[in-house]
């Protein structure tokens, strides 16, 4: 590859650079901080364009690249030190738990291109999903209803509903059965 030829001018950041500058300062002080409670984080994220439902819990030290590309439904828990690197849209449906240290990555580079072109694809997490601590979701991941991703797994592609996925790369290990 030849990084001197790298060009990502085709990428639209979604907001003016001054808006992004104010977001980075605000995120450092209030979102990616030790400050307890969810209310202030949620209000700031909404101000910067995130769509956030009711009864959302956001723990300290969360990093979010572009709040204007984030959609979170009702009854979602986001654990400490979660990093949502969303240069593309991230949509999280209702009743989802994203445990501490999870990394959601919507961008990568084309390693087959001599110019190392930027690639970006959205991540969608359906309802009743649990993402275990320190798991990583790759660009273009779609997680269907009721999936569990175990601790430290690396996920890409489409995860089929009501299944448990584990490993590097994550593979379906069994069906998820709920006790009623």
Q: Tell me if 29 is assigned to some domain.
A: yes
User: How far is residue 176 from each of residues 97, 150, 162, measured CA to CA in Å?
Assistant: 15, 12, 5
Q: Tell me if 76 is assigned to some domain.
A: yes
Calpha distance 154→136 (Å, rounded): 5
Calpha distance 14→103 (Å, rounded): 21
HSE-CB of 87 using CA atoms within 13 angstroms? 16
Calpha distance 19→63 (Å, rounded): 17
pLDDT in tens, 74-125: 999 999 999 999 999 999 999 999 999 999 999 999 888 888 889 999 999 9
Q: Tell me if 35 is assigned to some domain.
A: yes
Count: domains in the chain? 1
pLDDT in tens, 113-169: 888 889 999 999 999 999 999 999 999 999 999 999 999 999 999 999 999 999 999
The parent domain of residue 122 ranges over 3-173
What local confidence, expressed as pLDDT, does residue 65 receive? 97
Considering only CA atoms, which of 86, 100, 171, 180 is closest in space to residue 133?
A: 100
Average pLDDT over residues 58-79: 98
Q: Tell me if 180 is assigned to some domain.
A: no
Calpha distance 171→148 (Å, rounded): 11
Q: Tell me if 36 is assigned to some domain.
A: yes
Identify the three-state secondary structure at position 115: coil
What local confidence, expressed as pLDDT, does residue 40 receive? 95
pLDDT beyond 90 at 4: no
Q: Tell me if 179 is assigned to some domain.
A: no
What local confidence, expressed as pLDDT, does residue 102 receive? 98
Q: Tell me if 178 is assigned to some domain.
A: no
Q: Tell me if 91 is assigned to some domain.
A: yes
Q: Give this prediction's pTM.
A: 0.94
Instruction: Output the domain CATH number for residue 77.
Output: 2.160.10.10
């Amino acid at each position: 590859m030849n990084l001197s030829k790298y060009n990502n001018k085709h990428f639209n950041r979604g907001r003016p650079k001054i808006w992004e500058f104010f977001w980075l300062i605000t995120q450092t002080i209030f979102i990616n901080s030790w400050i307890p409670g969810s209310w202030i984080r949620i209000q700031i994220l909404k101000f910067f364009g995130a769509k956030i439902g009711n009864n959302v819990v956001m723990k300290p030290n969360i990093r979010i690249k572009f709040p204007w590309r984030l959609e979170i439904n009702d009854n979602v828990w986001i654990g400490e030190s979660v990093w949502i690197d969303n240069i593309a849209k991230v949509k999280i449906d209702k009743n989802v738990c994203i445990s501490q240290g999870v990394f959601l990555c919507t961008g990568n580079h084309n390693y087959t291109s001599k110019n190392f072109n930027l690639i970006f694809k959205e991540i969608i997490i359906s309802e009743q999903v649990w993402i275990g601590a320190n798991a990583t979701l790759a660009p273009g991941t779609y997680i269907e209803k009721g999936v569990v991703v175990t601790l430290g797994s690396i996920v890409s592609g489409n995860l089929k509903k009501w299944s448990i996925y584990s490993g590097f790369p994550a593979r379906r290990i069994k069906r998820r059965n709920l006790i009623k």
